[in-house]
Amino acid sequence: MCGCSNHQSHKAAGTRQPASGSLTVPVDDMTCGHCAGTISQAIEADLPGTQVHADPATKIVSIRGTTDTDTVRDIISRAGYTPGESAYV
């Protein structure tokens, strides 16, 4: 399960404006609400204007406001999680 005390703290890396669009990213090691909140805050901090819904029950992160999968996957990794393959919505 989640080792919340072991997750890395997130530091915002930039203030890029996201493109319009949506994508979903599976995150198998997102196991609780704390994990979901950490991932959501990390993405929203690095990509202002995005809307993130992270659901630990389905292990899916849905992001509106960007289609930049490489950046989103990098943000999730830096937050201490393992992103799966992204899909556009």
Instruction: Kindly state whether residue 14 falls inside one of the protein's structural domains.
Output: no
Range of the domain at 65: 19-88
Q: What's residue 20's pLDDT? A: 61
- Count of structural domains within the chain: 1
Instruction: Kindly state whether residue 56 falls inside one of the protein's structural domains.
Output: yes
Between 23 and 7, the higher pLDDT residue? 23
Q: What is the mean pLDDT of residues 66-86?
A: 95
Instruction: Kindly state whether residue 11 falls inside one of the protein's structural domains.
Output: no
Look up residue 51 and give its two tokens. 């809307």
Instruction: Kindly state whether residue 7 falls inside one of the protein's structural domains.
Output: no
Q: What is the mean pLDDT of residues 34-57?
A: 97
Instruction: Kindly state whether residue 37 falls inside one of the protein's structural domains.
Output: yes
Q: What's residue 3's pLDDT? A: 60
pLDDT confidence of 9, banded at 50, 70, 90? Answer: very low
Q: What's residue 47's pLDDT? A: 97
